[in-house]
Amino acid sequence: MAEARITPRSQDYAQWYQDVIREAQLAEPAEVVKGCMVIRPNGYAIWEKMQADLDRRFKETGHQNAYFPLLIPLSFLAKEAQHVQGFAMECAVVTHAGLKTVDGKVELKGELEEPYVIRPTSETIIGHFFSKWIDSWRDLPLLINQWANVMRWELRTRLFLRTGEFLWQEGHTAHATHEDALLEVQRMLDVYRDFAEQVMAMPVIQGIKTANERFAGAVETRCIEAIMQDGKALQSGTSHDLGQNFGKAFNVMFQTQSGGREYVWQTSWGASTRLVGALVMTHSDDDGLVLPPKLAPIHVVVVPIWKNDGERGRVLEAAGRIAEELRDDGLSVKVDDREGVKPGAKYYEWERKGVPVRIEIGPRDIDAGSVVVKRRVAAAGPDGRPKKETLRMDGLGVQVGQVLDEFQGFLFARAKAFREANTVSVDTWAEFEKVFADQGSKFVWAHWDGATETELAIKDATKATIRCIPLVGQGPAPEKGQCVKTGKPSAQRVLFSKNY
């Protein structure tokens, strides 16, 4: 039905995505620094709301914020073999510590004895400090989070989804036992899922990465995967069991209660500005950005309507009054009182920017003691646009609060319906190839024989990869079957999709 159908009319999904971001003034390519992006105030305001919500959840689960250096000695990175191998190709490296002017030209000087790597992630340098901070079982668990920028020199980039530099948080924890570490891994994965579903209104599937897709240096990587409107998957958060790999590499040991010495068990988990991209690709449409109320920097825009100076004074006074009332109820309200811009133009502008609710108020409304309220997205009216509602001015804050709550729920339900409509179980290779032919992609539950070479062969043939092996309850009930590619035995279905 219409409400489950979000997919833009645009044939070129990548172009549509860029246009939404540009027209909502969220971000733009940095240009002066290849592969990086500039996050504009409109986009950063969304990220700040995400940050605030996630940060509160991290603290509620006992974590503390800290900050570690941007530059990591090359030798640190080299200490964990898998880790350095995984990030080798995308490291930006600092080799000099000064400049000199020769014949009017600026040249590098002061070549460093040991180059620094601009952090692609901070496991190594944090491992170094953990070894200094941890001595006793009494120091554990150590639960740290860092909000920071990291750099990965990607060959091809897309705004928010994959850029050279990006903002994120990375949690790093150390525990006395593997059991405690595993509990932490799942605890934080649950935080991410709850945030994605309750705040972003974006349904996700929790699962475990295959060995091939695992974080470099981890024993196990868990993730949340969301479906975008073109049927591709976006990994939206990860949580790693690092085992004792980094503990051994950086000699992070503690004395146990019984007097022995053991390596700590570590975890790390992260989510990035990529979430802003996920938000765009989950909810937005051909009219522009769509924001769930819990992340909208502006909840309500009030558009006053007048014909002459007499009406103007009356209407602006009433608009200001209802704005104040809504603000008293904790809402963020913008009154668009610009002159010389017609109401219709204002409507389009705020729709492009994703404001969840618009209130129109003119002389007719004031006389009737009511206002016209319109949601950014809802079941369509006869003109193809969401229906307008008329609400009484008395108790408007409470009523609008209800509208926003409903809207939040509506977006989640719509996104979930979209995912269900684009998820299939596939048992034959012919059918599998058909789903992923050309630009096609869906969420596909299929059997897999567990071999990395099979996984790679499937990727080679279709560009689809295993997004995750679902956790219990996150996919179809476990049932034995035959691998969709090789026909070999399989214990359960795994999630296949093309991905970002």
For RNA, the binding residues (CB under 7 A) are: 14, 29, 31, 34, 86, 89-90, 120-121, 150, 154-156, 162, 168, 170, 213, 215-216, 221, 223, 235, 238, 270, 272, 287, 305-308, 339-345, 347-349, 351-352, 358, 360-365, 372, 374, 385, 388, 463
Nearer to RNA, 14 or 66 (CB): 14
Closest approach, Cβ 154 to RNA, in A, equals: 5
At residue 313, φ and ψ (nearest 5 deg) are: -60, -45
Closest approach, Cβ 117 to RNA, in A, equals: 13
Among candidates 201, 172, 387, 191, which has minimal Cα distance to 264?
172
At residue 139, φ and ψ (nearest 5 deg) are: -80, -5
C-alpha span between 369 and 391 (Å, rounded):
9
Closest approach, Cβ 254 to RNA, in A, equals: 25
Closest approach, Cβ 411 to RNA, in A, equals: 18
Nearer to RNA, 80 or 176 (CB): 80
C-alpha span between 200 and 292 (Å, rounded):
6
Nearer to RNA, 139 or 154 (CB): 154
E strands along 289-398, which residues?
A: 300-304, 333-335, 357-361, 370-375, 388-392
Closest approach, Cβ 352 to RNA, in A, equals: 6
Give the three-class secondary structure for 408. Answer: helix
How many degrees, rounded to 5, is the angle at CA 96 between CA 90 and CA 101?
Answer: 130
Nearer to RNA, 174 or 223 (CB): 223
Nearer to RNA, 283 or 352 (CB): 352
C-alpha span between 390 and 406 (Å, rounded):
16
**Residue pair 215/185 in contact by the 8 Å Cβ criterion:** no
Q: In Å, how far are 152, 158, 229, 237 from 280, measured between CA atoms?
A: 23, 13, 10, 16
**Residue pair 75/114 in contact by the 8 Å Cβ criterion:** yes
Nearer to RNA, 236 or 408 (CB): 236
Closest approach, Cβ 257 to RNA, in A, equals: 33
Nearer to RNA, 254 or 299 (CB): 299
Q: How many CB atoms lie within 10 A of CB 92?
A: 14
Nearer to RNA, 69 or 487 (CB): 69
Nearer to RNA, 163 or 176 (CB): 163
Closest approach, Cβ 374 to RNA, in A, equals: 5
Closest approach, Cβ 347 to RNA, in A, equals: 4
Nearer to RNA, 11 or 308 (CB): 308
Closest approach, Cβ 469 to RNA, in A, equals: 14
Number of helices (H), then strands (E), in the chain? 14, 25
Among candidates 319, 334, 343, which has minimal Cα distance to 396?
319
C-alpha span between 60 and 58 (Å, rounded):
5
C-alpha span between 231 and 224 (Å, rounded):
16
Among candidates 228, 222, 221, which has minimal Cα distance to 202?
228
Q: In Å, how far are 18, 107, 354 from 27, measured between CA atoms?
A: 9, 33, 14
Position 443, amino acid: F
Nearer to RNA, 53 or 337 (CB): 337
**Residue pair 283/199 in contact by the 8 Å Cβ criterion:** no
Instruction: Fill in the DSSP letter of residue 313.
Output: H
Nearby residues of 60 by Cβ (< 8 Å), 6 or more positions away: none
Closest approach, Cβ 176 to RNA, in A, equals: 25
**Residue pair 316/373 in contact by the 8 Å Cβ criterion:** no
Closest approach, Cβ 302 to RNA, in A, equals: 11
**Residue pair 306/362 in contact by the 8 Å Cβ criterion:** yes
